[in-house]
Structure 1
Amino acid sequence: MAANSNLTIKAQEAVQGAIQAATGRGNPEVIPSHLLHALLAQAEGLTPRLLAKVGVPLDRL
């Protein structure tokens, strides 16, 4: 993860989660939906809180 050293810890975790989501599903590349999934999985992350604040139903994403 050295290439991501300019990212925050939460961002690094999201990138790693996206990579794991992609490879776990046999996908050779990481696509935006993998990253979105990883960001939404961060219970204490900024993305779920921001989306909830603007009324996005997280359970429907």
Structure 2
Amino acid sequence: MAEARLFGKAVAQTWDRSHPRLTLRAAWPGHDGPLPVIEGTVVRLVVEKLPSGGLNRPV
């Protein structure tokens, strides 16, 4: 947790080595052999307020 002047309290969560479950129906319809594993990191950021006064949702 951190304190930001414009956003108030900010909390970040991360999940590393996450990967989607690929299917042959999506972007891999003509692929032969096993599907690749594409690893990445998912980051969720929640802030207390927005400077614009807009709707505050996690991103």
Q: TM-score, normalised by structure 2?
A: 0.25
| Structure with max Cα Rg | 2
Which structure carries more helix by proportion? 1
Which structure carries more strand by proportion? 2
Greater RCO, CA 8 A, separation 6+: 2
